Structure 1
Amino acid sequence: MDEILVRYLHFIGIMTLAATLVAEHLLLAPSLAPAQLRRLARIDAIYGLAALLVLGAGLTLWLGVGKPAVFYSHNWVFHLKLTLFVLLALLSIYPTRFFLKHRNSEAEVAVPKAIVMVVRTELLLLLVIPLLAATMAKGVGLAQ
């Protein structure tokens, strides 16, 4: 039962990551009013909490419940998936800092095009990571 709960939390976290990234992408514009910036900052905070949930549940699945840790530790697909997740987290720093810096702004703020590109890159990574998870679950990448 513990494994099912942890897997469920992992899936909920992944779905929340996807939902918040899509929301950020849809709400981004060349310039943002103060209310829009505050909304994006709140959505980004939910994104951060979801990332922590995914990380915590993922580490629990790797090291605690479910398959033996060696199933993951000796799988290059798992390491690629983990690397992409870390890259996703590192990429998210730039938009987060921008939203936090401007969330209390009283005037419209121009949004750098790089913010949009980073969010799009995050969406692309989030599209690939579950594919890697599905292939890994089928045993692809296991050391023979």
Structure 2
Amino acid sequence: MLVPVIIATLHYIAVFLLVGAVFAQMYLLKLPPSADAVRGIARADIVFGIGAVAILISGFGNAAHAKGMAYYFHNGAFHLALTLFIVSALLSIGPTIRYRRWKKAVDAGLPGPTEAEWKAQRKWPHIHLTLFAIIAACMAMMARGVMAGG
């Protein structure tokens, strides 16, 4: 009985970790580009990735211990949430590559991103938060049997 509670708790902690990382990115991208800001955004991006993986693993564990995977695989809201989660992951690839490239440059003493390059990244945290809000709505629908198949 304790294992499902632990898995659900880890799932919620992972969600908070991921959302916290996105808010950290939003904050850092409001600052002028600097070596410290670049290193910070790269660290926040790593936390974002760890949170995403932890959400996926704990989410499937949570589902298996809750109503069983068959319930979720027959629910359209589950499929929509999972699809949006994958879309979010795919959308994060470009920024992740960019942040790592910038960090490598500043660690080597080379110039970091220009102001325009830095500002162009500000849209990504907002896109991710929007997707996460829709995913949360899907989870609420799924828990209540909305879009459940027969």
User: TM-score by structure 1 length?
Assistant: 0.91
Hey, what's the Cα distance between the residues in 2 that align with 1:119 and 1:97? 15
- Give the secondary structure class of the aligned counterpart of 1:141: coil
CA contact (8 A) 2:29 2:119 kept: no
Deviation at 1:136, TM superposition (A): 0.9
For residues 71-103 of structure 1, the C-alpha deviation after alignment (integer angstroms, 9 at most, x for no partner) is 100000100000000011111111111110011
Relative to total residues, which structure has the larger helix share, 1 or 2?
Answer: 2
1:20 matched residue in structure 2: 21
RMSD: 1.6
Code of the aligned partner of 2:113: V
Which aligned segments of 4 or more residues in structure 1 are displaced greater than 4 angstroms?
Answer: none
2:102 matched residue in structure 1: 102
% identity of equivalent residues: 30
Deviation at 1:29, TM superposition (A): 4.1
Hey, what's the Cα distance between the residues in 2 that align with 1:81 and 1:126? 9
For residues 24-83 of structure 1, the C-alpha deviation after alignment (integer angstroms, 9 at most, x for no partner) is 012114851111100111111111111110011012223x32212111000001000000
Aligned length: 143
For residues 100-126 of structure 1, the C-alpha deviation after alignment (integer angstroms, 9 at most, x for no partner) is 001131334222554222221111101
Structure 1 stretch displaced more, 114-123 or 32-41: 114-123
CA contact (8 A) 2:7 2:61 kept: yes
Hey, what's the Cα distance between the residues in 2 that align with 1:24 and 1:46? 10
Hey, what's the Cα distance between the residues in 2 that align with 1:36 and 1:72? 41
Hey, what's the Cα distance between the residues in 1 that align with 2:122 and 2:84? 19
User: TM-score by structure 2 length?
Assistant: 0.88
Aligned to 1:133, which of 132, 139, 150?
Answer: 139
Aligned to 2:126, which of 120, 130, 140?
Answer: 120
CA contact (8 A) 1:3 1:66 kept: yes
Change (3 A) 1:109 1:10: same
Hey, what's the Cα distance between the residues in 1 that align with 2:82 and 2:120? 24
Change (3 A) 1:30 1:43: closer
Code of the aligned partner of 1:74: H
- Give the secondary structure class of the aligned counterpart of 1:37: helix
Structure 1 stretch displaced more, 15-24 or 102-111: 102-111
Structure 1 gaps of 5+ residues are: none
CA contact (8 A) 2:78 2:142 kept: yes
Code of the aligned partner of 1:69: M
